[in-house]
Amino acid sequence: MRVALFTETFLPKVDGIVTVVCLLLDHLADRGIESVIVAPRIGDITHYNQTEVITVPSFTVPLYPELKTGPPSPFTYSRLKAFQPDIVHLIHPAFIGAFGLLMAKHLSIPTLASFHLDIARITQHFHIGPLSLGFLQPITNFYTRVVFNAADYTLAPSKLIQRDMLDIGIQKVGLWRRGVDAEKFHPRYASIEMRHALSDGHPHETLLLYVGRLSNEKQIDHIKPVLEAVPNTRLAIVGDGPAREDLAAYFAGTPTKFMGYLKGEALYRAYASADIFVFPSAMETFGLVVTEAMAAGLPVVASRVGGIPDVVQEGVTGYTFESGDIDALIDGVRRIAASRARIKQMGQAARAFAETQSWPAIMDEVIDLYAALITAQQAALTA
């Protein structure tokens, strides 16, 4: 089997989409499946693991400066044709992926489109001066429906997003669940030195942790009232993004430490060295960081978006709340922080659940779907 992927974002950018794509490419290599990936040109990357990276010239998206994109060219098409893929997997086709879809159709290659970014809801959190871009949501939903329905099959990352996709008129929607590497995200990485850094020298206080992009739709500002309402709590924020400066000003004078981007063992130690993971995001397609935190042994207090309701068991591994309900966020943290025994008990339950969420088994389901789509295409061509 030979698989070609088209993605709107890739290394060296670090986010949940890139994490999942890299895990998929790693798994394809482990299974002896050849692959190439078409991605925006950022830096001079030519290969990832055993996968060739075909880059396209890219420009910065004005409203999303961390995202770069650009149009594939006839050169991209010739490289794709020479590779002779059996299937094309489109990682949330928007621009690069839409061109990839047209190329695959022209070459009679079966296509799979997976949903990774709720662009329609994101528009509600962008403004040009006083003007909200939320009015673009119907247009974005229309475009998403047209592109995804043009693929042979589509995948959602959670049951909630699966329902949303069906509601806007996408017709064939399966489920591509998310997993976690429970060997990397593990309580054994707990570190006195890291806890001291995260707590800004106050390791005996209850340490809340946020990991992710620093942007308006993540609603990180909603955590500030928790620090004011729950005694002896501190917050560590891991990540970076366009809202970094505004958040630093907003949290000034509170027990909050901004750690910037962390990766590898430093990230594993940050998760394992905290007490409670807090995640008040307004929208997610899944929320990969939640299962990472659970694998590291942290109870979770998170908004009920994306795949979070699929993985958090109320009162056992954490608490969820409707996005924007700050009182419920405070209440969830207060319940868990009531005692060290409670934190430990719920953290152990979170870890036990995370151990059941194996990436290899989940990625094998995707490969099985590839095989089914290839077989269906071959049958249609010979009918």
The yes/no answer on whether domain 187-354 falls in CATH 3.40.50.300 is no
- How wide is the angle at C-alpha 143 spanned by C-alphas 363 and 94, nearest 5°? 50
pLDDT at 293: 98
Least trusted range by pLDDT, from 63-67, 199-203, 259-263, 294-298: 63-67
For residues 78 and 54, the answer to whether their CB atoms sit within 8 Å is no
Q: What kind of architecture, by CATH, is found in domain 2-179+358-382?
A: 3-Layer(aba) Sandwich (3.40)
The model's confidence at residue 285, banded by pLDDT at 50, 70 and 90, is confident
Model's pTM, two decimal places? 0.81
Domain range summary for the chain, segments of one domain joined by +: 2-179+358-382, 187-354
Q: What is the bridge-based pairing of β-strands 47-48 and 51-56?
A: antiparallel
- Is the pLDDT at 245 greater than 90? The verdict is yes
The model's confidence at residue 18, banded by pLDDT at 50, 70 and 90, is very high
User: To the nearest whole number, what is the mean pLDDT of the chain?
Assistant: 93
pLDDT at 370: 98
For residues 187 and 272, the answer to whether their CB atoms sit within 8 Å is yes
For residues 2 and 34, the answer to whether their CB atoms sit within 8 Å is yes
- Is the pLDDT at 332 greater than 80? The verdict is yes
pLDDT at 246: 97
Higher pLDDT, 298 or 131: 298
3-class SS of residue 260: strand
Enter the DSSP assignment of 189.
Answer: G
The model's confidence at residue 150, banded by pLDDT at 50, 70 and 90, is very high
pLDDT at 382: 85
CA dist 273 and 140 (Å) reads 40
- How wide is the angle at C-alpha 96 spanned by C-alphas 58 and 127, nearest 5°? 70
CA dist 380 and 383 (Å) reads 5
pLDDT at 66: 64
- How wide is the angle at C-alpha 162 spanned by C-alphas 156 and 166, nearest 5°? 120
117-121, 158-162, 167-171: which has the highest mean pLDDT?
167-171
Q: What is the bridge-based pairing of β-strands 51-56 and 87-91?
A: unpaired
Same CATH fold assignment for domains 2-179+358-382 and 187-354 = yes
Q: What tens digit of pLDDT does each residue of 39-94 get?
A: 999 888 999 999 999 999 887 766 666 667 788 999 999 999 999 999 999 999 99
Q: Using a pLDDT cut of 70, give the percent of the chain over it.
A: 93
pLDDT at 125: 56
Q: How many helices (H) and strands (E) does the chain have?
A: 15, 18
User: Quick one: which of 333, 194, 347 has its CA closest to 257?
Assistant: 194
Q: What tens digit of pLDDT does each residue of 91-105 get?
A: 999 999 999 999 999
- Is the pLDDT at 111 greater than 60? The verdict is yes
Residue with tokens 């397609």: 285
Q: What tens digit of pLDDT does each residue of 357-379 get?
A: 999 999 999 999 999 999 999 99
pLDDT at 62: 64
- Is the pLDDT at 16 greater than 70? The verdict is yes
Rama region for 240: left / alpha / beta (φ>0; ψ in -120 to 50; rest):
beta
